[in-house]
Structure 1
Amino acid sequence: MTSPKRLFKVTDFLQPADGEPIRSVITESADATVVAWHIKPGQHISAHVHPDGQDTWTILSGCGEYSLGSKGESIAIAQGDVLVAHRREVHGVLNTGQEPLVFVSVVSPSASGFEPV
């Protein structure tokens, strides 16, 4: 009996892009989708919610402004931070630094949905 792959290197999945940041799926199951993000300086992920689950981000490098609501509320984030957007909580990010903002997102369950705000 073989088990699913359990070890992944984030750097194998990072996809810098000049337009919209690329959502690079590391692994996916019914329980969760794990995604690597590479956000260039000045790029952003628009504010959104997951109506049926949560999105947990672990910041590996860089810094930015993390959206907390639809009225422009935000907090500064940096390497080492873990952010949790529970069901229907608004979140997004703007890279305000000079270096790429790199993080891993875990959306659980995978069928959490996505709605722009």
Structure 2
Amino acid sequence: MAAKDALGRRGEDLAVEYLQRRGFVVLSRNWRCRDGELDVVAVDQTRLVVCEVKTRSGTAFGEPAEAVTRSKAARIRRVTQAWLSEHQVRWCEIRFDVVAVLAPPGGPVTMQHYESAF
């Protein structure tokens, strides 16, 4: 596995652990269709939460959450529609979050959870 892929996997694992500690129930991880992928689909007490996880080892190219551009957010919304269709969910409240993980080599991991990020 490439270093970038391993970093991304570690960030997603940490994000899922964080969400579960906060009471989220994870329904899907890395769900794919022809239009793209959803990192985490979960439910909290009242709604479906689609969570994009962005992991970086440093901020030389910006903060992790800055990688969720308008076009990326639009793609996540389209893929969410495919997820809803495949899982036969007709209607529910949906929130789109970002979990930004900063995992510098040899340093402490920090995480920011941006609710209703887009």
Q: TM-score, normalised by structure 1?
A: 0.25
More strand by share: 1
More helix by share: 2
Structure with larger RCO (C-alpha < 8 A, sep 6+): 1
Q: TM-score, normalised by structure 2?
A: 0.25
